[in-house]
Amino acid sequence: MSHLSSEAIETTKLTRRYGYRVALKNVDIKFPVNGIHGLFGANGAGKTTLMRIISTLLRPHGGKIRVLGYDPIEESIEVCERIGIVGDKDLLYGELSGYENLEFYAGLYGLSKEILNVNSTKLTEIFGVKSWLHEPVKILSTGLRKRFDIVRSLLHEPELLLLDEPFSGLDRDTTEVFKEYLGEIRKSRTVILTTHNLQLGVELCDDYVTLRKGEVLSSGPASEFDGVL
């Protein structure tokens, strides 16, 4: 359960710089608990920087942020326990099999063998990789690796799922399966989604925030998104 908060993400004047370049400038965002929330913007708008701050990978240089009610700097372990991330690059070890990768990450999240087996069986069936479970990841295609990476991110049943361009590398069938899965979990989990496929983003998301040059350009229900980045 989230930590006494009705907001999954709440930022106040959030600022982050890389040297002299400002990546995020006084960003105020509120994404409520549960549902799919879109983070839109052109390249270099600050989406990935914001995702990295939410996932505890980056420290902000100014402002405040709460993730599921926790401070990602002071309470990073509490945040990490509750989030799952999928990025453009998978987080799998090529020499290990899909199952060994899942077993490794399950160990880091303190999951029991029973939970690992139940969840990995269910998720690998949903994402169609069960028959590849014991093959070394290095021999798998980009799409299959991506599917395993999605399974990895969901294994510990995260409250908050951070998806940074999750559909890149996925074929149409898997994209449909993933969309369907997100549709099922949206009532009980929070999903933050960044994608360049705005049509897909609008179709999936409940609401959105658009960033431009590190600042909030617009926000509101996804059905009212005007397509301006």
Partner 1 sequence: MASGFHAALKIAKKDILSQVRKKFEIFSMLLFALIAGLAFSFALPSALVEDLGGEAAIGAALIWVIVFFTGMFGFAPIFLAESESGTLRGLSVAPIPAWSVYIGKVIYGFVLMSLVEIFIIPVIQVLFGFTMFGEEPLLVVATLIIGTLDLAAVGSMASALTMPSESKATIFPLVYFPTATSGLILLIEITRVMATGTVVVIAAGLTVSLLFVALLAHLVAMITLSAGVFSYALSP
Where do contacts with partner 1 occur on this chain (CB under 8 A)? 55-59, 77-78, 80-81, 83, 85, 87, 89-96, 100, 104-105, 107-110, 136
Neighbouring CB atoms inside 10 A of 122's CB total: 14
Q: How far is it, in rounded angstroms, from Cα 147 to Cα 165?
A: 13
- Give least dist CB 58 to partner 1, A: 7
- Give least dist CB 135 to partner 1, A: 13
- Give least dist CB 112 to partner 1, A: 11
Closer by beta carbon to partner 1, 56 or else 174: 56
- Give least dist CB 114 to partner 1, A: 16
Closer by beta carbon to partner 1, 147 or else 222: 147
Closer by beta carbon to partner 1, 92 or else 192: 92
Q: Which two tokens stand for residue 206?
A: 């409940």
SS3 state at 32: strand
Sheet with 83-86, edge to edge strand ranges = 83-86, 160-164, 190-194, 35-40, 207-212, 215-221
Closer by beta carbon to partner 1, 63 or else 198: 63
